[in-house]
A and B are shown apart, each in its own frame.
Chain A
Amino acid sequence: MSTLLEVSGVSVSFDGFRAINNLSFQIGAAEMRAIIGPNGAGKTTFMDIVTGKTRPDEGRVIWGEKSVSLLKLSEAQIARAGVGRKFQRPTVFEDQSVFDNLLLALKKDRNPLAVLFYKRGPTDTEKVVALAEQIGLNEQLYRKSGELSHGQKQWLEIGMLLAQEPQLLLVDEPAAGMTPEEREHTTSILVEAAKTRAVVVVEHDMEFVRRLNCKVTVLHEGSVLAEGSLDHVTSNQEVIDVYLGR
């Protein structure tokens, strides 16, 4: 399987604290991966580096078939290159309807002039409706997204990610604060998405990770501690010591 994203030898420190320490990580084109690790292991910082929010002190981040370095691109350029990111707390545009939120995310020319003269055709409307169906919000299309429940906002944000048609989805704790039924739905959306693209899920909850049924990477103190199936890593003594045993 071809490599979509290759992170090698990346380190970053904040005021002397090494948040990421010589981290190397690879993911293929259509793969689901879960990243687990205790607090402060560098999970979110890792996402910040890939999406261009944080610049690493050293190391390389290589993207896609053409092997572009993501380190020189801005956040918006990285997003346009095909990296979608979901934040830990749901961030949707609460003042705007579900429809407008999805339309905003739809993969289109992002140039200001192109957006200014944008006219919505029937194909775009159909795409938005289809997405809303996929995330189970077709009943809520014209409600302001601020009125949605916590779980619905999480789904809307995942829907916005899918609308971007990214090749890589970075999802930060998608199941936080969800009920069991809502978790089930979230799992199925993510599993479905991983059939056609790479999905990286950062999660604390072991039960949720188990249901994703995928390869797991364990981070500890900014570098990879273990990698493999969930059963493999949970039987690793080091992992048990730093994370599970506590």
Chain B
Amino acid sequence: MTRSLFARNPSVLIFLSCLALFTLGVTALSEAMGTGMVSTSFVKTLGKTLCLCLIALAMDLVWGYTGILSLGHFAFFGLGGYMIGMWLMYERTRDIIVSSMANNEIPPTQQEVIDAIGNQIFGVVGSSDFPLIWAFSHSLTLQLILVVAVPGLLALIFGWLAFRSRVTGVYLSILTQAMTLALALYLFQNDSGLRGNNGLSGLQNVPGLDDVPQATVSLWFLWASALALGLGYLFAAWVVSGKFGSVLRGIRDDEARVRFLGYSVEGYKLFIFTVTAIIAGIAGALYYPQAGIINPAEIAPIASIYLAVWVAIGGRGRLYGAVIGAAFVSLVSTWFTGGQVPSVPLGFYTVDWVDWWQVVLGLSFVLVTLFAPKGIGGLFDYFTGRTPPDRHGQDLGPGAGSLQEQEADT
């Protein structure tokens, strides 16, 4: 009875085909392919959306499956972005400095080049020296390792402290909010070494690809994001479909019971918290080169709350639900806040959607929570006929089987 992952989860294959079709479709219609029906900026938006879907997947693993309502995963997303941003900015600045110094009568020394890069990058915060955390910024390989290592280590330390003390429920949520807020406030400082509130910018210019038009680069990032999302989905499906997933759902539903079965609940929580932080870091590292800029406001507490809203609206506890929620809400959000939706004049007041969108989002979150706890993903149950019986009434008690009052009557 060992069937393959796909046979056990047909939705995985369906999802991967949809993702492939979507990527092919956008590619065919993109400016880089000549038709230009999808503008380069929209290709970037779609690529970014795929990254948001990936972090939503991570959130679903940690919240929907394990029941840990982490409101701090955007801290890991941002850290991933900062790590790749450091290399992008360093290398790009070096290219510019080297080409401008090439005309000097005396060729610049190595130290002069580095000083000039430092001056260029940190001039905006009144400094010119490289802080220690930039030590590896010259190397793409090392920074890519940091993309995984920094969020992973932070999650490992934070999780170890929190789970070991058996902090659960709303207290854990508050702790994670405090973590992301503390990190954002720290990064806002000019002497944090990451350019304070200016953040890192110009990230859309990939060093060495000056001759490649942005239309093509944006397409490459779209492919990379789609690949990461596909692999992330496969990984998540593999994790939750086996016995490990069974333990995770057990922890969500009854932590004490899992403990008395002999599983170290803390170890499992720490594992999933760290793994999802790493996924979030990778998503961030793909997101920010497409966004072009990262600053501490990106990891403000509200960002992580939005993440929970996406997953809730999409339907937590099912992987495609999280992806649908993130894609749907963030795209609609882009549409509303982009000022493309016509305002509604009411005579005495004009409803401007840029301002009112937040209200709509908040309201829909409340409505979904109250009336459709399964979210958008729950709609699929109607197609597959997996609707649970509408069970009202009390248990009939022992002996009468699992029927409940009203079912037994009819």
Contacts and interface: CB of A to CB of B under 8 A. Distances in A.
B112 to A, nearest CB: 50
Interface in B378-400: 395, 397-400
Contacts of A103: 243, 246
B1 A125 contact: yes
Contact of A76 (B246, B254, B259): B259
Contacts of B402: 147-149, 152
B16 interface: no
B250 to A, nearest CB: 5
B126 interface: no
A96 interface: yes
B134 to A, nearest CB: 35
Interface in B242-265: 242-244, 246-247, 249-250, 253-254, 256-257, 259-265
Contacts of A87: 257
A177 B395 CA distance: 12
Nearest to A94: B253
B208 interface: no
A114 B156 CA distance: 19
B2 A119 contact: yes
Contact of A149 (B1, B249, B265, B400): B400
Contacts of B246: 93, 96, 100, 103-104
A115 interface: yes
Contacts of A181: 399
Contacts of B158: none
B253 A115 contact: no
Nearest to A125: B1
B262 A80 contact: yes
Nearest to B268: A112
Given A91-B257, A151-B398, A110 B242 contact: no
A164 interface: yes
A112 B265 contact: no
Contacts of B243: 103-104, 115, 118, 120
A177 B249 CA distance: 27
B400 A120 contact: no
B9 to A, nearest CB: 15
Nearest to B242: A118
B169 interface: no
Contact of B262 (A76, A95, A116): A76
A90 to B, nearest CB: 10
Contacts of B242: 115-116, 118
B32 interface: no
Contact of A96 (B2, B250, B395): B250
A75 B260 contact: yes
Contacts of A115: 242-244, 247, 263
Nearest to A84: B260
A110 B266 CA distance: 12
A164 to B, nearest CB: 7
A116 B397 CA distance: 38
Nearest to A157: B257
Interface in A111-132: 111-112, 115-116, 118-122, 125
10 contacts: A75-B256, A75-B259, A76-B260, A79-B259, A87-B257, A104-B246, A115-B244, A115-B247, A149-B402, A181-B399
Given A51-B260, A152-B402, 7 more contacts: A76-B263, A93-B249, A96-B249, A118-B242, A125-B1, A164-B262, A178-B398
State the 3 A-B residue pairs at the shortest beta-carbon distance, nearest first.
A79-B262, A179-B399, A80-B262
